[in-house]
Amino acid sequence: MKTEVEVADERELPGGPYTRRVTTIVGVGLFRDEDRFVEQAVRNVFGFCDELILVDHRSRDATPEILERLAAESPIPTSLHRVQQAGESHDLIKERAGEDLWAFGLDGDELYDPNGLVRFREMLLAGEAADAWNIRANMLHCIELDEEHGVATGFLAPPAPSVSKMFNFRHIDAWDGDNPERLCDPSGLVFKPGFEPRKHELNKEYAWDESPFRALHVCFLRRSSRQAGDGPRMNVPDRTAPRRAPVRAWRALLEAIGRPPAGTYKGLYRVGELVTVDVAPMLASTYRATASGAA
């Protein structure tokens, strides 16, 4: 049974102070050549997570330096790791199976609404979705972004698929297996006896403007200073899948010259009508550790 003990949260966050239960939220970010948006992505979750695990996967742009600075400035316990294989990122969280925690996967192209996350955190710590295995977020798969005016155009999830990664570790005994990246492959999942995993589709309960768990997904935009132009990139499982040596060499060359191979699976995000929505909260500097206590 979930403990009713509450402890004070010492952080100054958008929306003011609040209390939290002993359930914890651990963010695990895996990044490779994401220097255009990664700082915003990480700062937006400072007020949501109790702990952050930041993982750099062989970046060759400014991502490692940005992550070092974020780890140093973070207002919450934060560790920084560099890995040669993306699957090593899963090793940093899998040993916590069975703990009363939500594991939250963060990518460098996912800009969550920090103000909404404050509400979402309160919901989780009050027991929302406690009997669920994972939670789906509202998302906008963005094809155009006007940062000056805080608006974006793209495909909303739903009806497009949501790619949020939010998992309830209290319901599992283990998550081993050969994971290509953190919180990805279900083959090694062992659920607790009697537990029937289900999704909590929060994204179908809230419209975009009202959702406490929503993200701007800039997957179709240029995400690295090394990238020549806009366009979707391959995801980690596709990049690490077995391929013939000439194919691997060709893809490596394309990445080296700033023209990474396109990820064809991202075509699945182009579902429904194109819409233009307000994304200003995702782009604002809402939490700066160097300005602690500022409004």
Report, as an integer, the average pLDDT of 223-233: 78
What DSSP state is assigned to residue 192? P
From CA 248, how far away is CA 226, in angstroms rounded?
Answer: 19
Q: Where in the chain is the domain with CATH 3.90.550?
A: 6-222+272-283
Closest to 57 measured CA to CA, from 22, 33, 25, 26:
33
Q: How many CB atoms lie within 10 A of CB 41?
A: 23
The percent helix, strand, coil of the chain (3-state, each to 5) is 25, 25, 50
How far is Cα 241 from Cα 248, in angstroms, rounded to an integer?
10
Q: Of the candidates 279, 277, 282, which has an alpha carbon nearest to the alpha carbon of residue 113? A: 282
Number of C-alpha atoms within 13 angstroms, CB side, residue 13? 27
- CB-based contact 38:108 (threshold 8 Å): yes
Q: What does the pLDDT average to over 223-244?
A: 64
Whether the predicted pLDDT of 257 surpasses 90: no
C-alpha 121/C-alpha 127 separation (Å) is 10
**Amino acid 5: pLDDT:** 32
Q: Indicate the class that CATH gives domain 6-222+272-283.
A: alpha beta
233 — pLDDT class (breaks 50, 70, 90): low
Which of 2-16, 223-237, 253-267 tops mean pLDDT? 223-237
The confidence score (pLDDT) of residue 261 equals 56
Q: Are strands 6-8 and 19-21 parallel, antiparallel or unpaired?
A: antiparallel
pLDDT tens-digit series, residues 93-138: 999 999 999 999 999 999 999 999 999 999 999 999 999 999 999 9
**8 Å CB contact between 37 and 9:** no
* Average pLDDT of the chain to the nearest whole number: 85
